[in-house]
Chains A and B, each alone.
Chain A
Amino acid sequence: MKSVVITGATSGIGLETARVLAAQGFFLIGIGRSVENCKRAEKSIFSDYPKAKIKYFTADLIQQREVLRVAGEVQDCLSENCDSALDVLINNAGCVRSWYTTTDEGYEQQFALNHLAAFLLTYKLLPMLKKAKGRIIMTGSKSHKGTKVHWADVMLHKGYNPLKAYKQSKLCNILFARGLNDRFAGVGIRAYVVDPGLVNTDIGNKNTGTLVNLIWTLRKRHGVSPAVPAKNYAFLCECDDPPEGLYYYLCRERSYSRQVTQENADRLFVLSERLCGISYNDLDL
C-alpha cells in the first residue's frame, strides 16, 4: 500500500488533498496542530470513505522539538504499517503572521513553519522516502515571484512585513525543492512545488491581526475551492514515472522565479542545515 504524509492536513488544501489521496487507497498520515481538528478531519474523511486507512498525529511544527517528536511517531507508524517506506511527503503546513513573532529558538515564525519545519521533517523522513523512491511536494505560491531571499537578514528582523515574509518563505520552498533534486534525484527521490492558485482557505485568518484578517477575508472570496489544487497533488503522486518539472499549477508545469538558481538553493540548504543543527550528508543515502 502506498503511503503519504501530509502536514497541515486538518483544513484547507491539506485536508482536501488528504481526502483525495485517502480515496485512492493511500495510507494517509496527517499532521495537525490541535487534537480536536485532527479528530474532525479524520471523521470527515472516514464519513466519505469508510475504508480509508488514516492516522493523524498532533504537532505544532513551528517548534523544532515538535517536528522531531512527531517525525519519530511517523517513522514508527510507517515501519508498522508500510514496511518503512514512504511514497509521498507533502509539506503543506504554512502560516501568516501579522507581527514579527519568533519560535522558541528565536526564529521568525513564518520562516520557521513555512520553510524550516519542512526542511527538518524531510530530513527525518528521507531514508523512508528513499526506500519507496518517493516524492516530496511543497505548497508554494505564485507570490514567490518578484522577491528574493534577504540573505543578510533572512528572519526579516529589520523592516518586517507579513507579505514580504510570506513571499520569501514561498521562494524558499522552491529553492529547497531544487536543492533536494540536485542532491537526491540520483537515488530516485524527486521534489516538486505546487502552486495552488488563489484558494478559499483560512490561512490569513488564523492568529493574524485586524488588517491581514480583513484583507484576506475579502480576497479569499475570489479563491477556488481547495478541491482544485488537490487534483494537482494527486497528479504528482500518481504518475508512474516521476514528472520532470519542478513547479506545477493545475497539473501543468509553470515558470518560476529567476531567483531559483543552484547557487541560491545551495546557500539556503547550508543555512537551513545550520539553523536546524543537522547535515543531510550524515544520512549517507
Chain B
Amino acid sequence: MNVLITGAAGGLGRAFAIECGRRGYRLFLTDVNKDGLMCIRRGLERQFGTTVAAIDCDLTRAKSVDRMLAVIDRYNIRFDMLLNIAGIDFEGGFMGRERENVVNIVALNNAATLRITHAALERRRSGRPFTIVFVSSLASMFPMPLKAVYAASKRFLLDFSISLRQELKDCDVNVLTLCPGGLATTPEALRGIAVQGFWGNATTNSLETVARKTLDLALAGKGLYIPGGLNRLLSLLGKIIPRPLVAAVIYKRWRRAQSRWPTFTAN
C-alpha cells in the first residue's frame, strides 16, 4: 500500500503516519515544516523499519507542488491512498486577523487540498482501488462565529468530498470525510481543550484512535466518520436547529472560552 500524507510532520498527520507505519504501509510524506518532516521520517524508519520518502512542500504554492510532483514522477511513484491532513486553524473574529492570514485559511484548507487531490488521483496505481481521506471537522456542521472562516472552509471540504465520492464511485475510488471534535495535537490545542472545561474534554477524541478507525472505515468503503457519540449527537442537532440560533449559541460559548485563553486553537 503506497500512501501519500500531507501535513505529516505534526498533529493528526503525524498520528496517521504512525498508524500507517504500524501497518507496514509504504509512505510518502509531505509538510511545509522540513525539520519536522525529517524527524518523523527518521522516527518511523527506526520504529517500524518501513520505507518512508519525504519531501517538504508548500501546498499553497503551485510551483512548490509541481516540484514535488516532478520528483514523484521521476521515480514513478504511484499511490493507493491519499490522506489530506494539511490544514490550518485560526481562532478569533474575522476582523481580528490580518487580511492575508484569513485568506490563507482558504488557500490551504481548500485550494491546496484540491490541488493535491487532483494530482494524486492522476497518479493512482492502475488496476487497484484508491482511497482518499479528507479532514473536515465537527465545525463543518455549524455556522461558527469566531471561527467563521475555518468552519466554512471545513464545510467546503465536507460538501466537496461527498460529491466527489459520488463522482468517483464507479472508478473504484472510496472517499471518506473525517469530522473530528477536539484533538489533543499540539500544546496549544491541549490548552484550548482545557479552557473549554467540560465541553472541551467531552468533545475531544484521542488522536491515535481516530487515526486507526479512520483508516479502518476508509478501507471498508465508508463515507463519513464523526468520532465520539456526543459529537454525533451535536452534528445531528446542527441539522435540526435553525442555523441562526446555532450561531447565537456558539458565539456565546466561544466568546467565553476565548476570553479565558486568548491564543488557543482546537480542531
| Interface set of A (CB-CB < 8 Å, partner B) | 63-65, 98-107, 155, 157-158, 160, 207, 209-211, 274-275, 277
Contact = CB atoms under 8 A, between A and B. Distances in A.
B194 A277 contact: no
Interface in B175-219: 184-185, 187, 190, 193-194, 197, 201, 204, 206-208, 212
A65 B47 CA distance: 17
Contacts of B194: 209-210
A101 B9 contact: no
Contact of B44 (A99, A101, A106, A209): A106
30 contacts: A65-B39, A99-B204, A99-B206, A100-B184, A101-B185, A102-B15, A102-B18, A104-B10, A104-B39, A105-B39, A105-B40, A105-B43, A106-B18, A106-B21, A107-B43, A107-B47, A157-B19, A157-B208, A158-B208, A158-B212, A160-B206, A207-B187, A207-B190, A209-B201, A210-B201, A211-B201, A274-B46, A275-B43, A275-B47, A277-B46
A66 to B, nearest CB: 11
Contacts of B206: 99-100, 160
Contacts of B208: 100, 157-158, 160
Given A100-B208, A102-B15, A160-B206, A209 B193 contact: yes
Interface residues of B, number: 31
A98 B43 CA distance: 22
A216 B47 CA distance: 32
Nearest to A275: B46
Interface of B: 9-10, 14-15, 17-19, 21-22, 35-36, 39-40, 42-44, 46-47, 184-185, 187, 190, 193-194, 197, 201, 204, 206-208, 212
A65 B44 CA distance: 16
Q: Is the interface of A mostly helix, strand, loop or mixed?
A: loop
Nearest to B8: A106
Nearest to A101: B184
Most buried by A among B10, B21, B208: B208
Q: Is the interface of B mostly helix, strand, loop or mixed?
A: helix
Contacts of B44: 106
A106 B17 contact: yes
Contact of B40 (A100, A106, A274): A106
A18 to B, nearest CB: 26
Most buried by B among A65, A99, A160: A99
A202 to B, nearest CB: 15
B136 to A, nearest CB: 21
B46 A99 contact: no
A211 B14 CA distance: 25
A105 B207 contact: no
A157 B39 contact: no
Contact of B18 (A157, A160, A210): A157
A158 B39 CA distance: 22
Contact of A101 (B22, B42, B207): B207
A155 B19 CA distance: 12
A153 to B, nearest CB: 8
Contacts of B17: 106
Contacts of A101: 184-185, 190, 207
A101 B204 CA distance: 13
Contacts of A210: 194, 197, 201
Contacts of A103: 39, 43
A210 B200 CA distance: 10
Contacts of B47: 105-107, 155, 275
A155 B10 CA distance: 17
A160 B10 CA distance: 19
A98 B197 CA distance: 15
Contact of A105 (B46, B184, B201, B212): B46
Contacts of A275: 43, 46-47
A207 B186 CA distance: 11
Most buried by B among A98, A158, A274: A98
A65 B38 CA distance: 12
A100 B17 CA distance: 15
B39 A99 contact: no
Given A104-B36, A106-B17, A107-B47, 9 more contacts: A98-B184, A99-B184, A99-B206, A103-B43, A157-B19, A158-B212, A207-B190, A209-B193, A209-B201
B184 to A, nearest CB: 4
A61 to B, nearest CB: 15
